[in-house]
Amino acid sequence: MPTRSGGAQSSEARSRADASFKKEERAKDGAKAMMEYVANSKMVREKTERLKALRLAKEAADKQIEVTGKGAGKR
């Protein structure tokens, strides 16, 4: 069997190291993207909950005004 020269071995080792580095970088990017996705999802949920609470409070206030007869059309 032919043996590899030192240059071919170092080129192969460098290639493996580059592939390993790229794989690690992709994993880090994926983790960062997931963290951003989770944070955005949480922000949207919180904003939706806040807006729903405001809407329900307004609807309750409007209904109370309607019931007590203090609406704009009852002057």
pLDDT in tens, 32-71: 999 999 999 999 999 999 999 999 999 999 999 999 987 5
Its pTM stands at 0.58
Q: What pLDDT is stored for residue 9 in this prediction?
A: 83
Cβ(10)–Cβ(17) below 8 Å: no
In this structure, how many other beta carbons lie within 10 angstroms of the beta carbon of residue 65?
13
The closest alpha carbon to 63, from 53, 75, 71, 51, belongs to 71
| CA distances to 18, 26, 51 from 65, in Å | 70, 58, 21
Q: Rounded CA gap, 27 and 33, in Å?
A: 10
Q: What pLDDT is stored for residue 44 in this prediction?
A: 98
